[in-house]
Amino acid sequence: MARTKSLSIGEYLIDALKGHGVDHIFGVPGDFILGLHVIGDRRGMRMVNCTREEAATYAADGYAREKGLGAVAVTYGVGTLATMAALGSANAESVPVVVVGGAPGMGERDSRRIHHMPSADMESPYRMMEEIAPHCVLLDDPDEAYDQIDWLLRNVRDTMMPGYIELPRDMIEAKPIAPHPIPRAMDELVPLARLNAAADDVIATINKAKRPIIWAGQGARRLQFGDRLLRFAEATGMPIVESVMGKGAVDGTHPLVLGVYVGAGSPPRLREFVEDSDLVVQIGVNVNDITTGAFSTGIAVENRVHLASDAVSVGHRRYEGVNLGAIAHVIERRIDEFKSHKVPKNLPYSWAEEITDAPRITTGVVADRLQRFIEKSDIVLCDVGVGAHLSMDSQLNRNGQFHIARLYVGMGFAVPAAYGATLARGKGRPIVLIGDGSFQMTGFDLSTAIREGISPIVLVLDNHGYGAERSIHDGEFNDIAQWDYAAVGQVVGAIGLQVFTPGQLDEALARARKDRDTAYIIQVDLDKTDVPRGLKALGEGLAELMAAGD
C-alpha cells in the first residue's frame, strides 16, 4: 500500500486487510480492541461478532481457505488466549489466519496490574502467540507500524501460516510522523541450477517408471492446484489418489481420480494398487500418523518423488528450497518432456457403495447420501471423528469443495468455518458434517451464520459419544450428555429434524434442499458402535502405537 501520514494505525490496518481481499473480520469486541471495531465499521469492513473467540478463529480459518487470508480481532489476554486452540489448527493445517489482539497501551506498560492479564507479566500473551504464529509484530511505534503491517500480511499470505498483530489501544488512533520501512534480511533465492536439476530428476524418474501414480495432499489443496493437477495427470496418464488432508484437491468425478489413500485405512484394492506402483509422486502430502494410517503405508523411499512445500525429494536425493509452487511452474513449462503412460484398466475406485434399503441409518448410508446429495455450488465442511472418516469415501464434484482440519483434529471446526468459507466465496450453500461431541462445542455458533444470511444444512452425526475415541479404547469416559439436537434449531433460528432410517434421511435432505433460505439441523441417529471402515483401521493403528509406548 502507498504510505500516507493521514491514516491512523487502525485505519491503515483495516485498509491493508481490504487490499488483500479481506472484507470480513471475525471476533468478539472487547475493551482493548473496541477502537478497531469502530474503525472497521466506519471504513466498510464487516465486523462479524461471533459467539466466542475460538469460533471466530475457526470462521477466519474457513474464510482463509477460500480467499487466501482470514482475520480475527479480539481483546487482550482472555480474548487472545481463547483464539489459541483454533489458531493451532491454522498452524498445523497451513492456513493464513491473522489474529489482531488488542492490548494495554504503551503508556500503561508499567508496574500496574490491568484486567485481562493472565499473569503479572504483560508481555506473556505475545510470547505465547509466538509459539503458534510464525509471524508476530507489536505495533508500538507509529513510524514503523505501516511497514510492520505490510510485512506481516505479505508473509502470512505467502507462507500460508498464521500471524499475530498486537495492537496497543493507544496506538489504534496514532498517526506516524515519518513512516519508514524496517531493514530486514532478504530472502535467499533458490539457485536456478538447483531448480532445473530438481526438474530434470523428477522428469527422468517419472518417465522411467512403468506404472506411476499421483498422491495429492494438503499442499495441492491449499495452493488450489486442482485443475493444474488434472491436466498433469491427463498428460502423463497417471491416476490420482488423495490424502486425507488433501481430500477435495481435485474433482472426484474425473475418471483418473480414484479416492483417498491412507495406508491400512484404504479399501484393500486401492491400497494394493497404490503400494504395487513402482513410483508414487507425492504432491504436497503432509506425512504424519493421520495421512499414513498410523504409519502403515507400504511405499519405499526409493519409490517416491515428493514435491513438498520446502523441498523436492526424488528417492533419497533432496533439493532444498525448491518448493511446490516453483517446481510446478517448471514442470508445466516442460510438460512435453513427460512420457505419456498407458492408464491401467479396471481402476480401483473407492467411492461409497449405493445403499438403497436398510433398517436404520449407518455411516455407510450417510457417505452414500452425501455424494448423491451435494451440488457443485455447495461447500462441504467436515468436523473430526465419524464424519471425517465416512466423508473420505464420498465422491465430490468439484475441486476445492471440501474443508476439514484433519491433522490438528480440533473439535468444533465445521460450523463456524462453514459461514466463514461461505462469506469468503460469496456463493454456495454450506453442507456441514459434525459429530454430536463437536456440535456441543460450537454448534450454537450456527446463530452467527443465520444472522449473516447464510443457511447451512448441518448433519449432526449422533453416535452418542466420542466415536473416534471408542475406536481406540472404549469406556464410560467417552460418553457425553444426550441432547435433542433438532430442538437447538428453535433456539438459533433453524429448522430441526430427527432421522433414524435412510428414508427419513432422504426426506429431510430433500426438504432442506428445497428450502434454500432456511438453516437446517438434521439429527442423524447412529448406533454408538457404528464405526466407518477408515476410522476402525486408524483406531486399531493408533491403539498399537499407544501400546508400543507403554
The pLDDT score that the predictor gives to residue 509 is 98
Task: Report CA torsion sign: 300, 301, 305, 311.
Answer: positive
Please tell me whether residues 395 and 542 are part of one structural domain: yes
Calpha distance 116→270 (Å, rounded) = 53
The pLDDT score that the predictor gives to residue 539 is 65
Q: Does 355 fall in a domain?
A: no
Q: Residue 445 is which amino acid?
A: D
Q: Does 93 fall in a domain?
A: yes
Please tell me whether residues 529 and 433 are part of one structural domain: yes
What does the radius of gyration of the chain's CA atoms come to, in whole angstroms? 24
The pLDDT score that the predictor gives to residue 75 is 96
Residue 522, C-alpha cell as written in the block? 438434521
Q: Does 232 fall in a domain?
A: yes
Please tell me whether residues 247 and 375 are part of one structural domain: no
**Domain boundary pick from 168, 183, 207:** 168
Residue 248: give its domain's CATH number.
3.40.50.1220
Q: Does 3 fall in a domain?
A: no
Question: pTM for this structure?
Answer: 0.94
Structural domains in the chain (count)? 3
Q: Does 517 fall in a domain?
A: yes
Q: Residue 129 is which amino acid?
A: M
Report the SS3 class of residue 340: coil
Nearest Cα to 171, choosing from 73, 102, 100? Answer: 102
Residue ranges of the chain with per-residue pLDDT less than 70: 1-5, 538-550
The pLDDT score that the predictor gives to residue 343 is 96
Calpha distance 329→323 (Å, rounded) = 10
Please tell me whether residues 390 and 274 are part of one structural domain: no
Nearest Cα to 454, choosing from 427, 436, 472? Answer: 427
From residue 339, how far is each of 202, 204, 312, 343, 482 by CA, in Å? 12, 9, 20, 12, 58
Task: Report CA torsion sign: 234, 351, 63, 123.
Answer: negative
Q: Does 348 fall in a domain?
A: no
Cβ(535)–Cβ(508) below 8 Å: no
Nearest Cα to 361, choosing from 230, 205, 498? Answer: 498
Calpha distance 436→548 (Å, rounded) = 31
Q: Containing domain of residue 63, as a range?
A: 9-168
Residues with Cβ within 8 Å of residue 304, at least 6 apart in sequence: 279, 280, 281, 282, 313, 315
The pLDDT score that the predictor gives to residue 542 is 61
Nearest Cα to 273, choosing from 229, 231, 211? Answer: 211
Please tell me whether residues 323 and 369 are part of one structural domain: no
Q: Does 356 fall in a domain?
A: no
Q: Does 27 fall in a domain?
A: yes
Please tell me whether residues 200 and 120 are part of one structural domain: no
Please tell me whether residues 389 and 524 are part of one structural domain: yes
Please tell me whether residues 258 and 404 are part of one structural domain: no
The pLDDT score that the predictor gives to residue 468 is 72
